[in-house]
Structure 1
Amino acid sequence: MKDEIIKLIQEYDRIIIHRHVRPDPDAYGSQVGLGELIKNSFPDKRVLLAGEEEPSLNYLARLDEIQDEDFKGSLVIVCDTANEERICDQRYLTGEKLIKIDHHPNREPYGDIMWVDTEASSTSEMVYELYEAGKSEGFKLNNDAARLLYAGIVGDTGRFLFPSATNRTFEAASELITYQFDRTELYEKMYQIPLKVAKLRGRLLTDLEPRTSGVAVFRINQEMLQEYGVTSEETHAFVGIAGDIQEILSWVFFVEEEDVIRVRLRSKGPIINNVAAKYNGGGHPMASGAKVSTWDEADELVKDLEKVCLEYQQKS
C-alpha cells in the first residue's frame, strides 16, 4: 500500500492534503508533516493544505486558501480521518484520485487507495514510515516535517504514556529528534493552558464523584463555558485529567455546544469505542468521540459506559 501511495505522489504535480474537523496535533502533524515531506522531496510539485484553521494549533502550521479549480486533476490525500463526514473541506471529493491514510478502525472505507493501520500510535507515525519506505524513491525529510510528525506522535500517545506507544513509535521518535527543532518550546506550546482553562479543570476535579462502576462523568454546559470564558475547543486540553486517578477506569466528557453535546470518552482498560459507535461516533478502543442531542441521551450513554466497566471488572 505504501508503494502505491508513493507512486501516486510521484505521478501528480498538484497534491491537496486534508484532515478531520476539530483537529488535534496528530491531525495537523500528519497533514502538514506529509505536505512538508512532499515539498522537500519534490520542490516542483504544488502541495496545498486544506481545511479551516484551528487557532490553538497555529504554532504548528498555517494552512492554505484553495480555489475550487485547484482540485481539478489533483491527487487528494486525507489524513487521520476515519469517516467522510468528519473530513474538513468537503471539496475533497472533487479531486481526480483519493487516498485515505489513517490509524482509526476502518468502519467507513473510502477513497481509491486506503492505508489503514490500527496498530500505529498515530497517523503521524504512519507518515514517518511512508518516508522510510520512500527514501529510495527520493523522499527527503527536513526539520519542519520532523517537528510536525514528532508533535503528532507526542499528542496521540500522551507523551508516550498511552499503550498505543510501541517499539515502532519509539523508533520513529528516536529518528525524528535527530533533526533540528526545539523540543522544549514545542512541549510548552502543546501543553501550556490559560489560567481560565486551569480554573475550569479545577472545578471539574473538585466536583468529581467516582462511581462504583469506575466511571467518572464530567458535564460542561453552556453556562459553565460562559462563566469561565472558555470555548468548547479549549476543553480538549484537559480531556485526560482523570487518567491518573486510581479509582477511575473510564471517564466521559460532555461539552454542550449550540446544536449538539460533544462527547469525549477515555478508558484505562474497558473497550469503549463500541459505546461511542452507538452514539454517532467511534474511534480507538480506549479513546473515542461521539455526540448526543440531549442530556437525557447523555444519561443513557453513561449507563452504557457503566455496563461496559462493570463487565470489565467482573472479568478482571
Structure 2
Amino acid sequence: MNVKKGYIFGLALIVAFILMAQPATAAIDTFSGPGYDGVLDYVGAGGWQSTTLDVKSGDDFNILALVYSEANDFELYVYDPLSDSIITSATAPYSTENGLKYIWTISSLNPGRYYIEIHSSRGSGNFAFIHFNRNMQTQTTTPAATTVAPAPAPTNTRPSTGTSLFSTTMSGSKYLTIYNQNNYDAVITMRRATTPPVSGDRVLSFYLRAHDQYTVQNIEAGEYTLWYKLGEGWDSVGKTFLVDRGARRFDDIFGYTSRTAGYEAWIYPVADGNASTTDVPADQV
C-alpha cells in the first residue's frame, strides 16, 4: 500500500475524536480535505443507512474506511447502480484502537456514483465513512478537459396519478394501495427485498400526485421493500423532480403470502402509525 499509513491512521484518529464528540443520533455532517472526503452519520440497531460516493475522473486511489464504536458491529457495502450489484464489502474490523473499530477496503472504482450502505448487525450509534482518493506519495495532476454534449432541456409536464415509470410483468393476485397526503407529488417504487435493500430488483415505479391515492394490482407473492420520493416540477426526460423534497424507504418488509390480499400505506406521518422509515438518496427511488 503506497499511501502513507501514518496519514490514514492520523486522519482516522482525528475523525474518531469528532465522532465521539457528536451526540448519539446526531444528524450529521460531511468533511473533506486534500486526498479524502467523508461523512459522519448515525445508524440504528439492526438498521441500514445510505450515503453516496462520487468517484471523479482524477481520483487515482480508492481506500474506503469505516470508523465506529467498539461496542457495535457495523458492515460496509458498496453498491454499483450501473451493474446493479454489490461490488465490494467489508464486514470485519481491520483493527480496534482508542475504543473504536476500523474497517478498511481497497477498491478499483471507475468514475461515477456509488451507494454506500452501512448495516448495523449489533448496536446503534454514529459512524464515520472516509474515502481516500489520492495516493499521498504522488502529486496529483489536473485531468484533461473534456467536451460534454449538452443535456436535453428538462420538460415540466406533470404526469397523472398512476403513470408507470418502470414496470415488470407480474401476474399475481395481490394489491398495494398508496395514499399521498403530502402537498408534494411523489414517485413510488417497489423492490424485491434483499440485503442491502438498494440492491433489490426494482419491480415497479409509478407517479402519485399530491393528495391522491392509487392501487397497483397483480402483485405476486414474495417479499418487497417500499420506497418513495417527494418533489416539485417533473422532468420527464430525466424522470426526476426538479426540486427534491426528500426520499424515504419503509423499514418494514412487505411480505405477500397466500394469506395476504394486499397492503395499504400512507406516505405521510399518521397519528399512532406503526411504519418507520429511513432517509435515502432520491435517485435510489
| TM-score bracket relative to the smaller structure | 0.3 to 0.5
Normalising by structure 1, what TM-score?
0.30
Larger Rg: 2
Q: Which has the higher contact order (CA 8 A, sep 6+)?
A: 2
Greater per-residue strand proportion? 2
